[in-house]
Structure 1
Amino acid sequence: MTSYLGLDLGTSSLKALLIGEDQAVIGSASVPLTVERPHFGWSEQNPESWIVACEAALAELRAKHGEAFSAIAGIGLSGHMHGATVLGEDGKVLRPCILWNDTRSHAEAKALDDAEARAITGNIVFPGFTAPKLLWMQAHEPALFERTRLVLLPKDYLRLWLTGEAVSDMSDAAGTAWLDTGRRDWSGRMLERTGLSRAAMPGLVEGTEASGAVRNVIAERFGLKPGVVVAGGGGDNAASACGVGVAAPGTGFLSLGTSGVLFTATAGYRPVPETALHTFCHAIPGLWHQMGVTLSAAGCMEWLSKFLKEEPAALTGALGETIEAPGRLMFLPYLSGERTPHNDADIRGVLAGLESDTSREAVTRAVLEGVAYSMRDCLDAAGDTPKPERLIAVGAGSRSAYWLELMATVLETEIALPAAGDFGAAFGAARLGITAATGADPASVVSMPPMARTFEPVAEKIGAFRDAHARYRALYPAVKAAMAG
């Protein structure tokens, strides 16, 4: 037999997923991780904890699935993006990794974000990106900055331990603000602006390509065959896209987790940074992806659940499965600010149109509609980029049939819900491991999973929701002005 392994380094845990040649899941292991917050706005993690977690996950899979584990032919990597892992001359980590949700470098990001940076990278330079973190080190930890010889993204530090190779993939590198995203190569100019050179960057490969092989000492320790190929892999969202088969233009996924993500694959490079839409390389060669983010999606239902003291499933279940026309009550889901299209950390949420007889069902519908309109904003932010023909629904919010029918109608796009199974980033990473080890065409490996159900737009309600979305859009500047006053 032959098997493949996907490793997904998340902020809160490391997951290892073992699959067979037929892509059926053989087993998985998850090891928790902790985040340190030494100061307000800081978020750090010890890179050595990633190694310890990976060792534990590998040992658990070997103990439970010895034969299949020893037959691993390829490994794929996925991980949380934007983290700054800095190494010195001796290859040792100089300080804890500064994570994606660390905001200390907001001033440096603002200084770096200009027309030149956007033209090269295709994106706004956000504080969470990697490059401004090195500018922060230059200003606040100059001695450590001077000792910096290599900067790695989190999953690539795991790769360094596995293979001995300093390599990244295009999709993860695109989130650093150092990549010329259209050319799929490091930008000498952006490196120069942060006091670095190409020598401080890892090599680059496509996510489907081999980046190296597992070191003999690790292979012998865990009973792996010599020369197990490690794929380039991908950033967490690109790997998740591979997990649900978003591998061709016109496809995408809608993630309704605590935050919301609208991810669409594109054949060409179509940056629109002015709308706060991310334009990154896909993990698959020749493709890019656009990604809109709303900071509170299912998180809005979690807020409402606490407020009304009723579980989210009970609140949405009370609405049934057939959507009603939009109500007069309007909800802005900006509980934590908003990313796409406003890039506004200060804006906050609003319920507008409350009446004396407003029911909890009406409030629930308004919250679901508000998040749907925010996802429509993400779709519209792509400008003239062709709209996806189908979106795959993932995340906790996808359990609500009402919400998915609503999303299909507001987005005017078919939404498909996968059958039960594990199709996340670890699965996508394992699929990338298959392509790197076998040389198979990614299109033959990264297929869509079986679908449990599809949701079509409700044609007779599309017009009403278009009008409601226009009213929703008009609320933002009014609320912004009121908050400023």
Structure 2
Amino acid sequence: MMFEGEAEAWLGIDLGTQSVRALLVTADGTVLGAGTAPLTNHRDGVRHGQDPGEWWEAVCTASRSAMSLLRGRRSIGGLAVCGTSGTVLLTDAQGRPLTRGLMYDDGRAVEEAARVGMQTSWALPKALWLLDAYGWREGRGQAARVTHQPDVITAQLTGEVIPTDSSHALKTGYDAEREAWPPQLACLGEVLPEVVRPGTRLGEVCRTAAEATGIPAGTPVIAGMTDGCAAQIASGALRSGAWNSVLGTTLVLKGASANPVRDDAGVVYNHRAPDGSWLPGGASSVGAGALPLGPDPSEMDIRAAEYEPSGALTYPLASPGERFPFLAPEATAFTLGTPASEADRWAAALQGVAFTERLCLDYLHHLGAPIDGPLTFTGGAARSAYWNQLRVDILGRPARVPEQIEPALGMAVLAAYGTGTGGIALPDVADRMVRVRTVLEPRASHTARFTEPYARLVDELETRGWLPTPLATHTRTRLNQDTIDS
């Protein structure tokens, strides 16, 4: 298997919450250059916005850093951009921002969310809020266009307004199965952008953008995906049954399937992969964001190893409300029992996240999703060797940890796929560019230690009315079967 132009490298750009990251990667996964630039977050209660102009300035800074070591030794085969899922703004007909970007976790669009039957974090409720605030329905102000975060950057790079990708458009109500905007959004007319599949060639870097970013003029610009999908590509979890568990502030699981995973509860949703297959997944509100601030994580991990299992049972929500493996807007973090020490409290939080991760996989199994492929850990928390081992022990299944655990790598892989020839499949491209650092195996004796506390957590979540009884029953059945098999 060969790419066209083995001397080429591909650029991935990740528009994150705290910063923009750019990564220049060769066909065999060698990182030639990297760059980063910080972003400012404007928070006011449930409101969270960013300045789109700062996105572009940060992209210029990060790209120049990533390109600085190239010095003409290789050409740039292409680039792709990912952004935070659900981040949206309004632009004018030329693609110039009219509003601040409303971020993925902005919670102001409560009434609009209820009206369209979506979570407030999704893009469509926020887009409707922006349109109303901008006066679009009353005919006030100039013509506006609903735009997703990466679209601002791709427009700057190419010098023209171009389509959005179906991955970022999903939470704006785009029907990925029919590959069209649904009839119920026809009232928005030209306000909604044209949509293409990820991996589609959008245009080329224009001369003005080349001067600002250091990216050569004429470099192909490829339609990207959301940051969660980008992380999944970076994990290599792209063949049916494979899953990527992204653990950072919160927990996100994304997998690969030949068919959409149907979920009447709306907890699991499906992105369309570039090749037409499906990337189902869901996002929980538990994660590292629930860990106590102040202690040194490395030191606390060492001390937490003395508490397996912890004397307390914790459901460690980083923020109120749960989205996956069940939908419970009223859910709050809780701890049963009293931790024996600060280290025990830390252990309870780490274990609580892993219990939730296991429950997410149980839910996916309950829905009939394929989960028998390899599991990969990415996200900031995957830097903790102790937590990684704890997670595989609690899950009772092995996991891989790649060398690079960031979405920018996924966008470099997608750029290589989008500019490739000869029908090379995306999983094959990822196999070449994604390097596995560690393979972790569960320890059966440790897995057995956590059977009882996991069962207690399932009971407690059901008793509180958050976890539906059919899922609780399915989870117990799987747990009992695992106990018999062991």
Q: Map Cα deviations across residues 375-405 of structure 1 (whole Å, 9 max, x no partner).
A: 1222122221121432111233324444333
The answer for the alignment partner of 1:430 in structure 2 is: 412
Aligned-partner residue type, residue 331 of structure 1: T
* Correspondence 1:75 to 2:62: no
Question: Following TM superposition, by how much is the alpha carbon of 1:168 offset from its aligned partner in structure 2, in angstroms?
Answer: 1.7
Question: Following TM superposition, by how much is the alpha carbon of 1:203 offset from its aligned partner in structure 2, in angstroms?
Answer: 2.7
Question: Following TM superposition, by how much is the alpha carbon of 1:170 offset from its aligned partner in structure 2, in angstroms?
Answer: 2.2
C-alpha separation in 2, matches of 1:452 and 1:179: 37
Which of residues 315, 323, 333 in structure 2 aligns to 1:332?
A: 315
The answer for the alignment partner of 2:382 in structure 1 is: 398
* Correspondence 1:414 to 2:398: yes
C-alpha separation in 2, matches of 1:455 and 1:234: 29
TM-score normalised over the length of structure 1: 0.84
Change (3 A) 1:226 1:454: closer
Q: Map Cα deviations across residues 405-451 of structure 1 (whole Å, 9 max, x no partner).
A: 33223333211222xx4341111111111112223432221127343
Q: Map Cα deviations across residues 267-314 of structure 1 (whole Å, 9 max, x no partner).
A: 2111315162333223x322222223222312233x1x54xxx32221
C-alpha separation in 2, matches of 1:466 and 1:384: 23
Report the secondary structure of 2:256's partner residue. Answer: strand
Structure 2: state its 5+ residue gaps: 1-6, 467-486
Asked if the contact 2:231–2:410 (Cα under 8 Å) also holds between the matched residues in 1, the reply is yes
Which of residues 37, 47, 52 in structure 1 aligns to 2:57?
A: 52
The answer for the alignment partner of 2:436 in structure 1 is: 451
The answer for the alignment partner of 2:124 in structure 1 is: 131
Change (3 A) 1:314 1:167: same
Spell out the pairing of 1:210-359 with structure 2 (5 A cutoff): 210-219=201-210, 225-274=216-265, 276-282=267-273, 284-301=274-291, 303=292, 306=294, 310-320=295-305, 324=308, 326=309, 329-337=312-320, 338-354=322-338, 358-359=340-341
Which of residues 387, 393, 417 in structure 1 aligns to 2:371?
A: 387
- How many percent of aligned residue pairs carry the same amino acid? 26
Asked if the contact 1:277–1:378 (Cα under 8 Å) also holds between the matched residues in 2, the reply is no
C-alpha separation in 1, matches of 2:95 and 2:437: 48
The answer for the alignment partner of 1:122 in structure 2 is: none
Asked if the contact 1:254–1:260 (Cα under 8 Å) also holds between the matched residues in 2, the reply is yes
Change (3 A) 1:61 1:349: closer
Spell out the pairing of 1:183-198 with structure 2 (5 A cutoff): 183-189=178-184, 191-192=185-186, 195-197=187-189
Change (3 A) 1:272 1:202: same
Aligned-partner residue type, residue 346 of structure 2: T
* Correspondence 1:16 to 2:22: yes
Spell out the pairing of 1:136-147 with structure 2 (5 A cutoff): 136-143=129-136, 146=139, 147=142
Report the secondary structure of 2:280's partner residue. Answer: strand
Q: Map Cα deviations across residues 21-40 of structure 1 (whole Å, 9 max, x no partner).
A: 43311111111111223x43
C-alpha separation in 2, matches of 1:111 and 1:437: 41
Q: Map Cα deviations across residues 101-152 of structure 1 (whole Å, 9 max, x no partner).
A: 1110022101211xxxxxxxxxxx2111111113223443324874344211
C-alpha separation in 1, matches of 2:348 and 2:85: 33
The answer for the alignment partner of 2:110 in structure 1 is: 106
Which of residues 171, 174, 180 in structure 2 aligns to 1:175?
A: 171
The answer for the alignment partner of 2:194 in structure 1 is: 203
C-alpha separation in 1, matches of 2:226 and 2:52: 17
Report the secondary structure of 2:325's partner residue. Answer: coil
Aligned-partner residue type, residue 286 of structure 2: S
Question: Following TM superposition, by how much is the alpha carbon of 1:457 offset from its aligned partner in structure 2, in angstroms?
Answer: 3.1
Report the secondary structure of 1:346's partner residue. Answer: coil
Asked if the contact 2:67–2:215 (Cα under 8 Å) also holds between the matched residues in 1, the reply is no
